[in-house]
Amino acid sequence: MRTFEGKMRVGRHARVSVVVSRFNGFITEPLLAGAAAVLREQGVADDAISVHWVPGAFEIPVAAGRIAKGEKADAIVCLGALIRGDTPHFDYISAEVTRGLGALAIEHDLPIVYGILTCDDVKQARARSGDDAANKGREAAAVAIEMMDLFRTMDGRA
């Protein structure tokens, strides 16, 4: 039986784009810091990491789609923070962002990583964006690295 699995190895030549929502920046900025730290730890050069700020989570899929079409990224990490409020807005936005990013990943055959927090309150969001191993930006970057390596392995390039 042949088994394919991505590893935490990416090499210096990887290009990663990160799309980050400015809305709830007190949460998304630490997510970005966590993602950038993991990418650097894994050897991705600073000049191979591009960061694209968008107004809110709803705009993340369209920016990721534009990057997928033209930027030649090996992976796209999408970071945002949706915090439930008193209206159904949270449900609509989280569903559309999820659907949009999933469709893009399939359409472009590209690791597009979902690092969007969907939390009931600020306390949950802070717990997932702190300066520790629980930071979901770190986790999203690690997923991107594993997926890039998996794709290379599947293509016979690893």
CA distance 138 to 35: 4
Task: Quote the distance between the C-alpha of residue 52 and its chain's center.
Answer: 11
Q: Does the annotation mark 108 as catalytic?
A: no
What are the distances in angstroms from CA 97 to CA 8, 78, 113, 142? 27, 10, 12, 21
CA distance 126 to 143: 21
Q: Parallel, antiparallel, or unpaired: how do β-strands 75-83 and 16-21 relate?
A: parallel
Q: Which of 13, 52, 89, 108 is catalytic?
A: 89
Supply the residues annotated as catalytic.
Answer: 89
